[in-house]
Amino acid sequence: MRIAFKMKLHKGFEDEYKKRHDRLWPELEELLKTTGISEYSIFLDSETNFLFGVLKAKDPSALNNLPSNPVMQKWWSYMKDIMESNPDNSPVSIPLKEVFYLP
């Protein structure tokens, strides 16, 4: 199943966001893959600083376990200074509804 969502990057942190993802922690990459996530992309709308994420998940319900994982919590804490975040440091993430797909 494909899942899409949007998040908000603070202005002026575009390069830093890219840099941090270019150096994605191996333990985070492993966590995402073992959770069944693949083909994960994040796009930036430079006019609004919205980030648009798209990923494939073998079992979308498995994503519910990510927030309690220490690696995910550590990543969120690392990213909270450059993007809109919730009190638990998770990014404010708004699900997007698919309206068109061309397989």
Active site residues: 21
Q: Which amino acid is at 102?
A: L
Q: For the chain, give the number of residues.
A: 103
For residue 81, how many other CB atoms are within 10 A of its CB? 11
Q: How far apart are CA 31 and CA 48, in angstroms?
A: 30
